[in-house]
Chain A
Amino acid sequence: MAKAVLMQGNEAVVEGAIAAGMRFFAGYPITPSTEIAEQCALRLPQEGGTFIQMEDEISSMAAVLGASAAGVKSMTATSGPGFSLKQENIGYGAMAEIPCVIVDVQRSGPSTGLPTSPSQADYMQARWGTHGDHPVIALSPSSVAETYTLIIRAFNLSEKYRTPVIFLMDEIVGHLREGVTLPRANDLVINQRKSSFKDGANKFAYFVPEGEYVPAMKPFGKGERYNITGLVHDRSGFPTNNSQEAATLCTRLMEKIDKNADDIIRVEEYQMDDADTAIICFGGTTRSAKHAVNEARAAGKKVGLFRPITVWPFPEKQLAKWLGQVKKLLVVEHNYGQMLLEVQRCAAGQAEIDFLGRINGTVITPADIAEKL
């Protein structure tokens, strides 16, 4: 068996990303994500990859999209204030369908907020941060070991669906060091982007065969000359004002995620089989919640835990499954009530909903949750 190593959450992001094939990172220093940039600066050239510290957050996001268009799996990392600045080009990535991974190690806000304190208040920004209707995939890890495997999944989904994937971390996991047993390289599943155009499609870079949602993507410099734009475009990739073309493109962009939600969504269900009460949480908050579940169970209470690992799209179908059995949902998150809104929407009166939030920069403890239960 492989040896366990001590690893920080932010470090696991980098090692997992490298295992996934990431060979380009552009970033800008920001707490509490900076270790990711530092580790990339050290590690990427050792793997033949490239690190660059850009002049700002906006250009970091732009450089990542450029590198991906040139055929290299690419990543950036930031925190709240920088995540705000990156939104412009995240939208570009969604529209032009350029795979990449954006790590947001959340901190307290708004604005500069509490730079070193935990928060999960970018949950809605991850979904709605950039303007316009757009597809989003966002994943959130709850341990250092999971960070390693989940960032690989982030790259895989990004390549498979040609869309930016947001890796929504929090300071609790980002700055935590734990033992990790790294999977062997042979045991990992690594997706590469579909890069060969089908017959007759090379004239149309954004051609999608009937019944499919994702066009193939050949990197620049490999013999397929085509145009990429953030404007509404036709199947050739050229801007168009045609409303029919606009409908076709914008609908496909949404449907490629919606219609594949089952493939994209992963949840953790802990002690749910006979639960009448379920804690709903994500990311680092899960640690306190699981502790609270164990204590409640020891006291004879039927409490379970439902954790979206894929936080966007929200696992509504997976939650709905429990709504007959579970009478009470306790949403716990380090914000003023963001995933709560999704739970309310999905539960739609079928269960009592309670909420425990925190916006003062401290961590919600198991005792806080126990009290609420």
Chain B
Amino acid sequence: MDSRYDMRFTGSGGQGVILASIILAEAAVISGLHTAQSQSYGPEARGGLCRAEVIISKDEILYPRIITPTFLLALTQSSLDKYSQSISKDCIVVADSSLTVPDSLDPSRVVCLPILETASEKVGKAMTANVVAVGAINSLLGLFDDASLEEAVRRHIPAGTEELNLKALHAGMELVS
């Protein structure tokens, strides 16, 4: 991976973008990297726009929040429209395929992936979209080895859902090849 990613995960409350950021932070810890994860709180965490942040770095992280993201995940149109306005020039944007990419975004920086559709159709459960996204992001950025990421997923999902979530993770990985 590159030496540091400042990643912002956005969507609507209930899509699990916070958990997606936590899984990647956990994978960073398992892989011996530095990480700092935080999230937006308040009414927006219970519906409406939702935002989580994770920094993954080979060096110590001092200031733990993100000033300009170098990676953005958007799972809803409103989050893509809003958060794509404050990203760095070379930021990688992953947007769900169902969204319309705003004209202001350089199309070469945007990767459109059918995350929501994969979760509901291929995995068979819409609520696994966040884990599908985690798999796709990892393949895209080459962050962690599969075993570390799988372990991170296992640590943060309810008991009894391992099979479903690992299926989602691998379905996500396969979206990027």
Interface residue ranges, A against B (CB under 8 Å): 4-6, 31-32, 115-116, 172, 175-179, 284, 287-288, 290-291, 294, 363, 365-367
Contact = CB atoms under 8 A, between A and B. Distances in A.
B94 to A, nearest CB: 21
Contact of B41 (A6, A175, A290): A175
Given A177-B25, A178-B35, 18 more contacts: A4-B30, A6-B35, A6-B37, A6-B155, A172-B64, A172-B65, A175-B38, A175-B39, A177-B37, A177-B38, A178-B64, A179-B35, A287-B62, A288-B63, A290-B62, A291-B63, A365-B67, A366-B62
Contacts of B25: 6, 177
A116 B36 contact: no
B119 interface: no
Given A6-B37, A115-B42, A176 B64 contact: yes
B6 interface: no
A176 B38 contact: yes
16 contacts: A6-B22, A115-B42, A116-B41, A175-B38, A175-B39, A177-B22, A177-B38, A179-B29, A179-B34, A284-B64, A287-B63, A288-B62, A288-B63, A294-B62, A365-B63, A365-B65
A261 B63 CA distance: 31
A176 B37 contact: yes
Contacts of B34: 178-179
B27 to A, nearest CB: 9
A287 B36 CA distance: 12
Interface of B: 22, 25-26, 28-30, 32, 34-42, 61-65, 67, 155
A150 to B, nearest CB: 17
Nearest to A143: B64
Nearest to A173: B64
Nearest to A289: B62
A364 B55 CA distance: 18
Contacts of A172: 64-65
Contacts, number: 59
A115 B37 CA distance: 19
Given A6-B29, A177-B25, A287-B62, A116 B42 contact: yes
A179 to B, nearest CB: 4
B26 A6 contact: yes
A291 B36 CA distance: 15
Nearest to A32: B41
A366 B32 CA distance: 26
B153 to A, nearest CB: 13
B44 to A, nearest CB: 9
B36 A178 contact: yes
A363 B36 CA distance: 15
Given A6-B22, A6-B25, A172-B64, A177 B36 contact: yes
B51 to A, nearest CB: 12
B60 to A, nearest CB: 9
Contacts of B28: 179
B67 A31 contact: no
Q: Which of A31, A175, A367 has the most CB of B within 10 A?
A: A175
B20 to A, nearest CB: 13
A294 B34 CA distance: 18
Which 4 A-B pairs give the minimum distances between C-beta atoms? A116-B41, A179-B29, A177-B37, A291-B62
Nearest to A366: B63
B158 to A, nearest CB: 14
Nearest to A288: B63
A198 B30 CA distance: 51
Contacts of A6: 22, 25-26, 29, 35, 37, 155
